[in-house]
Structure 1
Amino acid sequence: MSTHKLPGYGSTLRTARRLTEQAVRLVDRAVPGRMPDVEVVLTTERGMVDLMVAADIALAGHADRRALNRAVRQSRRTARDCQARAIPKPDGGVLVLIDADKHPTPGAFAVTLVHELVHAVQFSRRGVRERIVRDTRAALGVERQTGRQAREHVRLLKQEESEAYGCEHLADQLIPGATATATAAA
């Protein structure tokens, strides 16, 4: 658990550390698969862009100028629209980026954290990491994938998102009423 370009959020970081330790154990028991090493980083929207670009380039294994520009554009769009993102790391771990400014309450943070940790467990399943690497390389223009592979990735991504949304109720075990406050804040 760390921060990136986020000064003055000491109490938020302490709360996040406590919730993360509990959420990792909870999700590891509840979701099929194994929990990899997870690095959680609290940041801002701008910090998310920096970290997503670095993670995508590391995952793709290639960093020419065009790939870097595509990664920056894609990361800016993603950071504007999302609250958090889980990204597999080349070493087998997972990087979970969370925009602290988009989480006004510990309950909202707990729901997002559980959602992203479910994705972390999903990355440990057979073939998922390789599929994500292939799609990232295709998105950055490093390597082409077939239309069939792209459609399969989108279909499986929808299933994985459904599973993650379905497990958000686990956040209520961390903070009672967390899902109710998260839906009210959204």
Structure 2
Amino acid sequence: MNGDAVKLTVTTHKLFGYRQTLRTAQRLADQAGRLVERSVPGRMPNVQITLTTARGMAALATAADADLAGLSDRRARARAERAAHKVARGAAGRAVPLADGGVLVLVNIEQHRTPDDFAVTLVHELVHAMQFSRRGVRERIVRDLRDGFGVEKQSRREAREHMRLLSAEENEAYGREYLAQQLTSTAA
């Protein structure tokens, strides 16, 4: 990483007894950040990696999405959190852009049995963090969130374009997961 320009921090949210997992995550996060920054176009923003459960992942992601979209309606927020919880049960991780320009990477600790599993998820989500720094990506995500929350409608063309680009970004992230093998080989 470029010295003090980028900050990668690892924390937990409502997890107890995972001190060793937290230490492993901190070690892998630094290595993963350097690896992803070298191999993916874009600029690595400040990243907050949070280890949590599915319920915590849904709550934190919804809060970050609502802040980014400028949503203040509590009922819409609660509805979104219930929907997010259904998705989070099967999700290993999620990267969420933050209103301050940083990125929140949420890792569902229940989905990771080994450091190898964690490394793959970490690399995948850090690739998304790099993508958020690209021109127009953050604005497109905000527009889609505002539409999803019912704040401001986007056109069908914009919605289709967002889904097409989202699919391409997801493919790029899956394509870079091989980098995780370098992490786990150095960690061993």
TM range (shorter): over 0.9
**How far apart in 2 are the matches of 1:121 and 1:110?**
16
Aligned pairs for 1:50-65 within 5 A = 50-65=59-74
| TM-score, normalization by structure 1 | 0.92
The answer as to whether partners of 2:71 and 2:149 remain within 8 angstroms in 1 is no
CA deviation profile, 1:166-186 (whole Å, cap 9, x unmatched): 0000001101399xxxxxxxx
Q: CA RMSD in A?
A: 1.4
Which of residues 150, 168, 174 in structure 2 aligns to 1:141? 150
**How far apart in 2 are the matches of 1:92 and 1:139?**
21
Runs (5+) with no aligned partner, structure 2: 1-9
> What SS class does the counterpart of residue 36 from structure 1 fall into?
coil
**How far apart in 1 are the matches of 2:53 and 2:79?**
21
**Alignment-derived partner of residue 169 in structure 1:** 178
Runs (5+) with no aligned partner, structure 1: 179-186
**AA at the equivalent of 2:81:** V
**How far apart in 2 are the matches of 1:46 and 1:68?**
15
The CA deviation at 1:73 is 2.5
The CA deviation at 1:143 is 1.0
**AA at the equivalent of 1:40:** I
**Alignment-derived partner of residue 184 in structure 1:** none
The CA deviation at 1:67 is 2.2
Which of residues 3, 6, 19 in structure 1 aligns to 2:28? 19
**How far apart in 2 are the matches of 1:111 and 1:92?**
24
Aligned pairs for 1:21-40 within 5 A = 21-40=30-49
> What SS class does the counterpart of residue 158 from structure 2 fall into?
helix
CA deviation profile, 1:82-124 (whole Å, cap 9, x unmatched): 1100000011100000011110000000000000000000000
**Alignment-derived partner of residue 43 in structure 1:** 52
The answer as to whether partners of 2:97 and 2:132 remain within 8 angstroms in 1 is yes
**How far apart in 2 are the matches of 1:140 and 1:103?**
31
**How far apart in 1 are the matches of 2:156 and 2:78?**
23
**How far apart in 2 are the matches of 1:73 and 1:147?**
25
The answer as to whether partners of 1:60 and 1:136 remain within 8 angstroms in 2 is yes
2:87 pairs with 1:75 = no
Which of residues 5, 8, 19 in structure 1 aligns to 2:14? 5
**AA at the equivalent of 1:117:** L
**Alignment-derived partner of residue 5 in structure 2:** none
List 4+ stretches of structure 1 deviating above 6 A.
Answer: none
> What SS class does the counterpart of residue 147 from structure 2 fall into?
helix
**Alignment-derived partner of residue 94 in structure 2:** 85
**AA at the equivalent of 2:97:** P
Aligned sequence identity (%): 63
**AA at the equivalent of 1:44:** T
**Alignment-derived partner of residue 182 in structure 1:** none
**AA at the equivalent of 2:37:** D
**How far apart in 1 are the matches of 2:14 and 2:67?**
20
> What SS class does the counterpart of residue 185 from structure 2 fall into?
coil
